[in-house]
């Protein structure tokens, strides 16, 4: 698939272009990050003030959302060119990590209904290139907040996820990554959500995926805590991510 064909695919499947996430949802999350709501921080701390307009300006630059603050409702966008540029930068970082002797990696996702297939493909590939995938704290449980069921760290194809005893669950939490790092510290992390934020906050080289309503990793990248953040819709049909994953792994292979 050529670059132009891949861009067309991203737009047709709404991984980028006119995405499903509404403008109202995006702006609400940017305001929440600006007031440091922990749910939207993904375990990161920031040195800058990052007021609401600062976050919006950054997301326009990094993800391609509409820059106009007067656009308050309706459609919002992710620029597919920015998606591919960041994806290729991610591939270069992964390749550089793999060129080191016996790199130790953690791969994790907080979005099992969407991005899990991407992480699993990456996991299978990096192992063939000499990486060791760490699986610390398997089975560790905690109770997120005052309500809900206990959650546990589980690994599928050595990709870390959370389950609640009956299903794999979506999470923004960084607590599981912090617990994993107490047990074993990797050289490199590929993740999203709080898994990526927790690793970046700990000073580990981290690359991650993030939707346009999840600004924390982009702010983390701007402050040097996250190496690369790839903007994309993180919950389209899993099969739609196939061409994007193939492009990423070809980029990694080219750098080895």
For the record, the structure tokens of 5 come out as 């064909």
Q: Provide the CB-side half-sphere exposure for 105 (13 A, CA).
A: 32
What tens digit of pLDDT does each residue of 106-146 get?
999 999 999 999 999 999 999 999 999 999 999 999 998 76
Cα separation, 125 vs 109, whole angstroms: 17
H helices present in 75-190, as ranges: 80-98, 116-128, 175-183
Cα separation, 239 vs 242, whole angstroms: 6
Residue 111: strand, helix, or coil: coil
Q: Provide the CB-side half-sphere exposure for 166 (13 A, CA).
A: 2
For the record, the structure tokens of 72 come out as 């308050």
The predicted pLDDT at position 1 comes to 86
- pTM for the complete prediction? 0.97
Name the residue with tokens 């192992």.
Answer: 127
Task: Fill in the DSSP letter of residue 195.
Answer: H
Cα separation, 90 vs 190, whole angstroms: 9
Averaged pLDDT, groups of 10, the chain, 256 residues long: 95 98 98 97 97 98 98 98 98 98 97 96 98 98 81 97 94 97 98 98 98 98 98 97 98 98
């Amino acid at each position: 698939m050529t670059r132009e064909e891949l861009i067309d695919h991203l737009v047709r499947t709404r991984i980028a272009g006119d995405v499903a996430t509404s403008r109202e949802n995006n702006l609400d999350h940017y305001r929440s990050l600006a007031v440091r709501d922990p749910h939207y921080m993904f375990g990161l701390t920031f040195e800058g003030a990052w007021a609401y307009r600062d976050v919006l300006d950054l997301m326009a630059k990094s993800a391609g959302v509409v820059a106009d603050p007067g656009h308050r409702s309706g459609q919002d966008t992710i620029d597919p060119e920015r998606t591919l540029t960041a994806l290729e930068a991610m591939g270069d970082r992964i390749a550089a990590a793999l060129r080191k002797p016996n790199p130790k990696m953690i791969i994790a996702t907080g979005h099992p209904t969407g991005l899990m297939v991407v992480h699993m493909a990456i996991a299978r590939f990096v192992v063939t290139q000499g990486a060791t995938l760490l699986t610390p704290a398997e089975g560790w449980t905690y109770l997120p907040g005052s309500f809900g069921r206990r959650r546990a760290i589980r690994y599928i194809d050595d990709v870390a996820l959370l389950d609640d005893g009956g299903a794999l669950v979506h999470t923004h939490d960084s607590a599981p990554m912090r617990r994993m790092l107490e047990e074993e510290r990797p050289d490199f992390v590929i993740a999203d959500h709080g898994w990526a934020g927790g690793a970046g906050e700990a000073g580990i080289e981290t690359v991650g995926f993030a939707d346009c309503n999840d600004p924390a990793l982009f702010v983390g990248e701007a402050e040097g805590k996250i190496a690369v953040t790839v903007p994309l819709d993180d919950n389209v049909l899993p099969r739609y991510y196939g061409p994007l994953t193939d492009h990423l792994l070809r980029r990694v292979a080219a750098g080895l």
